[in-house]
Amino acid sequence: MRLENKVCLITGGGAGIGKATALRFAGEGARVIICDVNQTAGEDVLAHLGAGARFDQIDVTDRQAVQTWVDKVAAQYRRIDVLVNNAGITRDALLVRVKEGELVKQMAESAFDAVIAVNLKGVFNCTQAVAPYMIRQKSGVILNASSVVGLYGNFGQTNYAATKAAVIGMTKTWARELGRHNIRVNAVAPGFTLTEMVQKMPDQVLENMRMHTPLGRLARPIEIANTYLWLASDEASFVHGATISVDGGIVLGT
Annotated catalytic residues are 160
Q: Which of 70, 72, 71 is nearest to 83 (CA)?
A: 70
Q: How many other CB atoms sit within 10 Å of the CB of residue 169? A: 12
Contact 134, 80 (CB under 8 A): yes
Q: Helices 16-27 and 221-232 sit at what angle, rounded to 10 degrees?
A: 50
